[in-house]
Amino acid sequence: MIGSAIIRRLEAAGCCNILTPARKELDLMDSIAVSDYFEKTKPEYVFLAAAKVGGIMANSRFPADFIYQNICIQNNVIHTSYRTNVKKMLFLGSSCIYPRDCPQPIKEEYLMTGPLEQTNSAYGVAKISGVQMCWAYNKQYQTKFLPVMPTNLYGMNDNFDLETSHVLPALIRKFHEAKVSGADSVTVWGTGSPMREFLFADDLADACVFVMDMDMTDDEYVNNPLINIGTGKDISIKELALLIKEVVGYSGNIVFDASKPDGTARKLLDVSKLEKSGWTPLKSLQDGLTETYNWYLENTGE
């Protein structure tokens, strides 16, 4: 989802020579393959958007996959970027790297000041190790590796699988299927009270290109850089469900299944650092939802 949005953004800016190896062409978990690929193609700028990702259930059920695969991918791409003299590398983390109970909105400096949320701690630790790796290479090898922390994302090419996806695509699918089948109700996991912030993938892509272009001094790279990317606004899962219900045009009821986990109560990013640098998102949640629902209708054969 993020990779394809970054490609759209780069192509719109007239960038050429964009390397986009598919998984069967380059397995990022294979260190030799990554090394060979970088030696052969010599990329100058790297966006590390590839990751093993999933929603609250996937993270809870497959923590070993999340920690192992993410650390492998990061190790290979970050180390090889250093070895092959990549000019700049952007590493995409996640808002779940921050402590579960930290003050809101979450400032970058809260990293590693408290325990993580249990439902995604394996993923969080993997992403924190990626951040530390960027910082360590900047210090030891004077690389220009920048970790950025996006909030919860959604958009075209999202995963709509009901077990492994994030809440937003899952609810689009659930409300759509209920509309088509004429079901009386849609079940939403948890209590509906957790608060989440949602950023459209194409806005994230725009921010990534903006940040990659930013002029930073050598000192700033050495000084543990970290940038949150989000909208600065959040809504409850209940409000999100009502919004999706409206966008999809479903007229039945919503049932909350409190036996399913809520996860973190709130994770709203403080985005003032990025705003001060001159970037703000374009897409409203209502418009982003409509676009994502239209994409779902056109692309999933539903």
Catalytic residue among 37, 123, 137, 250: 123
DSSP structure string for 146-206: EEEEE-EEE-TT----TTTS-HHHHHHHHHHHHHHHT-SEEEEES-S--EE-EEEHHHHHH
Does position 96 interact with ligand GFB (CB under 6 A)? The reply is yes
From the CB of 112, what's the least distance to ligand GFB, in Å?
16
Structure tokens at 296: 């779902």
Residues 109-168 binding ligand GFB (CB under 6 A) are: 119-120, 123, 152, 165-167
98 is catalytic: no
Q: Which stretch binds ligand GFB (CB under 6 A): 99-107, 140-148, 189-197, 273-281?
A: 189-197
The residue from 52, 176, 196, 283 that contacts ligand GFB (CB under 6 A) is: 196
Strand partners, 236: 195
CA-nearest of 81, 72, 78, 76 to 39 is 81
Token pair, residue 142, equals: 């004077």
15 or 255, CB closer to ligand GFB?
255
Is residue 92 left, alpha or beta, with left meaning phi > 0 and alpha meaning psi from -120 to 50? Answer: beta
**What is the x/- site pattern for ligand GFB, positions 32-61, by CB under 6 A?**
-----------------------xxx-x--
Asked whether position 70 contacts ligand GFB by CB under 6 A, the answer is no
For ligand GFB, the binding residues (CB under 6 A) are: 55-57, 59, 94, 96, 119-120, 123, 152, 165-167, 170-171, 188-190, 194, 196, 237, 260-264
Q: Which residues are catalytic?
A: 123
